[in-house]
Amino acid sequence: MILVDKALDQRERDGTPIRVAMVGAGFMGRAIARQLVSGVRGIRLAVIVARRSERALAAFHEAGVRDAVIVSSVRDLESAIDSGRPAVTCDPAIVCHAEPIDAVIEVTGSIDPAATTVLEAMRCGKDVVLMNAELDGTLGPILKAHADAAGVVFTDAEGDQPAVILNLFRFVRGIGARPVLCGNIKGFLDRHGTPASQATIAAEWNQDPRLITSFTDGTKLSFEMATVANATGMGVARRGMVGPTVPTGTDIQRTMPCFPLETIGDRRGFVDYVVGASPSPGVFVVATHDDPAQRRYLKLYKLGEGPFYCFSTPQHLCHFEIQNSIARAVIFGDAAIAPLAGPIVHVIAVTKCDLDAGTELDGIGGFTAYGVCENADVVQSQNLLPIGLAARARLRRSLTRDQAITLDDVEFQAETPLLELWSEQRARFGA
Long-range Cβ contact pairs of 423-429 (< 8 A, separation 24 or more):
424/142, 425/139, 425/141, 425/142, 425/342, 425/343, 426/380, 428/141, 428/142, 428/145, 428/342, 429/141, 429/142, 429/341, 429/342, 429/343
7 with 155, same domain: the answer is yes
At 208 the three-state DSSP class reads: coil
Radius of gyration of the chain (CA): 22
Q: Are residues 193 and 289 in the same domain?
A: yes
Q: In the chain, what is the straight-line distance between the N-terminal and C-terminal CA atoms, in Å? A: 35
176 lies in a domain? yes
Alpha carbons 183 and 200: distance in angstroms, whole number: 29
Domain match, 175 and 296 both: yes
- Annotate 175-187 with b (16+ C-beta within 10 A) or e (fewer): eebebbbbbbbbe
CA distances from 49 to 158, 196, 344 (A): 21, 29, 32
Examine residue 340 and state whether it is found in any structural domain, yes or no: no
Domain boundaries, position 129: 2-159+319-330
Q: Is the domain of 65 the same as that of 203?
A: no
Q: Is residue 430 part of a domain?
A: no
115 and 169 in a single domain? The answer is no
Residue 162 dihedral angles phi and psi, to the nearest 5°: -55, -45
- Compute the C-alpha angle 223/228/231, nearest 5°: 125
382 and 260 co-located in one domain: no
Residue 431 lies in a domain: no
pLDDT recorded at residue 1: 55
Cis status of the peptide bond prior to 281, with omega within 30 of 0? yes
Number of domains the chain is built from: 3
Rounded to whole angstroms, the Cα distance separating 335 from 136 reads 13
Q: What is the pLDDT of residue 266?
A: 73
C-beta separation of 140 from 110 below 8 A: no
Answer whether 58's CB lies under 8 Å from 31's CB: no
DSSP assignment of 27-86 equals: HHHHHHHHHHHHS-SSEEEEEEE-SSHHHHHHHHHHTT----EE--SHHHHHHHHHTT--
In angstroms, what CA-CA distances link 66 with 56, 88, 143, 151, 187?
Answer: 12, 12, 36, 36, 39
The per-residue pLDDT for 205 is 84
Distance CA 172, CA 180 (A): 10
CATH number, residue 371: 3.90.1210.10
SS3 225: helix
Question: Are residues 105 and 67 part of one domain?
Answer: yes
Here the CATH number for the domain that contains residue 113 is 3.40.50.720
Is residue 324 located within the same domain as residue 288? Answer: no
CA–CA separation, 213 and 85 (whole Å): 38
Please report whether residue 398 resides in a domain.
yes
Residues 360, 215 within the same domain:
no
pLDDT of 431 reads 55
pLDDT attached to residue 45: 98
Alpha carbon 17 to its chain's center: 26
Contact between 101 and 126 under an 8 Å Cβ cutoff? The reply is yes
**Of all helices (H) and strands (E), which one includes residue 312?**
strand 309-313
* Same domain, residue pair 187 and 79: no
Q: Is beta strand 87-89 parallel, antiparallel or unpaired with respect to 69-70?
A: parallel
pTM of the model: 0.96
Same domain, yes or no: 93 and 223 = no
List the chain pLDDT tens, one digit each, 431 residues.
579 999 999 999 999 999 999 999 999 999 999 999 997 999 999 999 999 999 999 999 999 999 999 999 999 999 999 999 999 999 999 999 999 999 999 999 999 999 999 999 999 999 999 999 999 999 999 999 999 999 999 999 999 999 999 999 999 999 999 999 999 999 999 999 999 999 999 898 888 999 999 999 999 999 999 999 999 999 999 999 999 999 999 999 999 999 999 888 777 899 999 999 999 999 999 999 999 999 999 999 999 999 999 999 999 999 999 999 999 999 999 999 999 999 999 999 999 999 999 999 999 999 999 999 999 999 999 999 999 999 989 999 999 999 999 999 999 987 888 999 999 999 999 75
Beta bridge partners of 43: 18
Phi, psi of 29 (to 5 degrees): -60, -40
**Peptide linkage before 279 cis (omega within 30 of 0):** yes
CA angle 66, 67, 69 (to 5 degrees): 125
Give the C-alpha distances (Å, rounded to integers) separating 364 from 210, 295, 328: 7, 44, 30
- Return the pLDDT at 414: 79
Q: What region does 22 belong to: left with phi over 0, alpha with psi -120 to 50, or beta? A: beta
Same domain (yes/no): 122, 194: no
Q: Is residue 151 part of a domain?
A: yes
